[in-house]
């Protein structure tokens, strides 16, 4: 095996390790609030918004609401960012963030709306 091959393989291996470390650290698992409490990295919690619990905080980029996760637990979600369209009508909301001081702090919300994608006729 030639020297330049060894260098080449070395660079690729180094890069592979770099990517794997990055990959595992940026994985955001789907969990419930109970599990989220014990985790330090970013996680995703899916749930439904408790009706009429959406409030705007002290500035326009702060939105708070109560999210009921799949196990039924309810936690205040503290969202910083522009309020996504259709948050009020959402059938399901995924919050990506961390559990901190009794609240779930997030900068990213995925909103599933009943009307967003008109799929098949079955939905009519």
Q: Which helix (H) or strand (E) holds 110?
A: strand 103-112
User: Which spans of this chain sit near another protein (rule: CB under 8 A)?
Assistant: 4, 12, 15, 18-19, 22-23, 26-30, 42, 44, 46, 50-64, 66, 68, 72-74, 76, 82-85, 88, 94, 96, 110, 116-121, 124
Task: Compute how many other C-beta atoms are within 10 angstroms of the C-beta atom of residue 25.
Answer: 9
Q: Which helix (H) or strand (E) holds 74?
A: strand 74-80
Tell me how far, at minimum, the Cβ of 22 lies from another protein, in Å: 5
Tell me how far, at minimum, the Cβ of 102 lies from another protein, in Å: 10
Most distant CA pair in the chain, distance: 69
Residue 70's SS3 state is coil
Shorter beta-carbon distance to another protein: residue 1 or 58: 58
Tell me how far, at minimum, the Cβ of 31 lies from another protein, in Å: 8
Tokens at 96, concatenated: 């990506």
Tell me how far, at minimum, the Cβ of 38 lies from another protein, in Å: 15
Strand partners, 45: 31, 95
């Amino acid at each position: 095996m030639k020297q330049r091959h060894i260098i080449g393989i070395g660079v690729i291996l180094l890069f592979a390790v770099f990517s794997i470390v990055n990959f595992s650290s940026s994985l955001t698992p789907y969990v419930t609030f109970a599990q989220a409490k014990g985790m330090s990295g970013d996680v995703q919690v899916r749930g439904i918004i408790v009706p009429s619990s959406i409030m705007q905080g002290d500035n326009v980029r702060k939105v708070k609401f109560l999210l009921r996760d799949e196990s039924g637990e309810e936690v205040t979600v503290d969202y910083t960012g522009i309020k996504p369209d259709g948050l009020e009508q959402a059938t399901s909301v995924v919050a990506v963030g961390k559990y901190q001081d009794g609240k779930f702090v997030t900068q990213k919300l995925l909103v599933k709306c009943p009307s967003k994608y008109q799929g098949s006729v079955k939905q009519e």
